[in-house]
Amino acid sequence: MILIRNTKYSKRRNTGAAKKFNIIGILAEGTVVGVLTGIVGAGGGFLIIPALVLFAKLPMKKAIGTSLLIIALKSLIGFTGDLQRNDLDIDWVLLLSVTSFAVVGIFVGIYLAKFNNDDSLKKGFGWFVLLMAVYIILKQIG
C-alpha cells in the first residue's frame, strides 16, 4: 500500500545526500523473496522492487531495471541448467519467438519510460500487484 498512497515514502526525492541503506531490511526482504521463490516456484522480481525502493532507497526506474537484471540472470542460470538435461525437449521456435517479441517490448518500454515519472510508476506498480493478488485469490477460492 505504501507504493500506491501518497506518503512520505512516495514523496521522497533524491537530494544528492548520502543514502542510508536499511541493511537488515534488505537482507530480510532478500531472504523472504528467496524462500517464497523456492516454495512457490514463482519469480520474486515483483517482490524485489518494493525492497529496493523502500530499503535501498532506489528511484523506481532504477529499482525496476535492477529487478529485471536479477530476473534475467536467474532465468539464464536456470535455462543453462535445463540445457544440461538430456530428456528436455525445447521448442526452439516458440523460445525464439517469445524472446524476439520480448526484445521488441524492451525497446518499446525504454521509449515509453521517457514519459513516466517515478511517482506514476510507483502508483501503477502498486495497483498492478494489488490487482494481481486479488485475481489470484479469487481464482484459488472460486
pTM of the full structure = 0.61
Residue with cell 537530494: 15
Q: What is the pLDDT of residues 122-133, one digit of tens each?
A: 788 788 888 988
Q: What is the pLDDT of residues 32-87, one digit of tens each?
A: 877 877 776 666 667 788 878 888 888 888 888 888 888 888 778 878 887 887 77
Q: What is the pLDDT of residues 6-35, one digit of tens each?
A: 555 444 444 555 567 778 877 887 788 778
* 23-40 vs 45-54: helix crossing angle, rounded to 10: 170
pLDDT at 114 over 80: yes
